[in-house]
Amino acid sequence: MARLVLFVVMVGAGVLLIRMANAAASGRLKRNRLAGIRIPSTMASEEAWLAAHVRARRATVCSGVVSVLGGVFALIPVPMPVVSLGVLVAAVGMLGFVAYAARVGSVAAKAASLRHI
């Protein structure tokens, strides 16, 4: 049962990250308080929001892919401690990519805001 929960959570999170990254970078996901890179520099304007998400798209998609791989790993028939470690590594990798996406998105948002001054 634990493997199934890990699979559903990790794959679900990964799919949501990939879909959000693509929607935000294409302009379909507008500024909001629920999903996306929500920091002051990205919330400053629609231009800053879009610039951040276009620039952060690759890293955000990578975070989703790592999450999906972690979920699939949970189904491999190995001892549960190995599964736990593998999913933990995937979760840390996912968070690392998300943090990197936020950083590059912030830089892009600030640059977009400066162009409009």
Sign of the Cα pseudo-torsion (37, 40, 45, 51, in order): negative
Which residues, in sequence order, are CB contacts of 80 under 8 Å at separation 6+?
Answer: 2, 3
Sign of the Cα pseudo-torsion (98, 36, 43, 110, in order): positive
List for the chain the helix, strand, coil content (%; round to 5).
Answer: 80, 0, 20
Amino acid 115: pLDDT: 76
Whether the model pTM is above 0.95: no
Over the chain (117 residues), the average pLDDT of each successive run of 10 is: 94 97 95 92 93 97 98 95 96 97 96 78
Amino acid 116: pLDDT: 65
